[in-house]
Amino acid sequence: MYNLIGAGLIVIGGGIGLGQIGGKAMEGIARQPEAAGKIQTAMIIIGALLEGLAFGALLLGK
């Protein structure tokens, strides 16, 4: 039960983080469309780091 609540919290936190990353990346791309490739790569890397963190936390709570 508690670990499900924890999982929910992790997902909320991760979702906020991913939203921030994605949103800012979109803003960046809109501002500088020619840098879209670089921004996308950086976005995916940071997203992956966040994902690793969230999955780590999920598995620790499992």
Radius of gyration from C-alpha coordinates of the chain? 14
Write out the binding residues for another protein, residues 23-62 only, by CB under 8 A: 41, 44-45, 48-49, 51-53, 55-56, 58-60, 62
Work out the burial of residue 60: count CB atoms within 10 Å of its CB; fewer than 13 is exposed, 13-18 middle, 19 or more buried: exposed
Tell me the C-alpha distance between 6 and 20, whole Å: 21
Q: Is 9 in the site for another protein (CB under 8 A)?
A: no
Instruction: Rank residues 33 and 37 by Cβ distance to another protein and give the closer one.
Output: 37
Site residues (vs another protein, CB under 8 A): 41, 44-45, 48-49, 51-53, 55-56, 58-60, 62
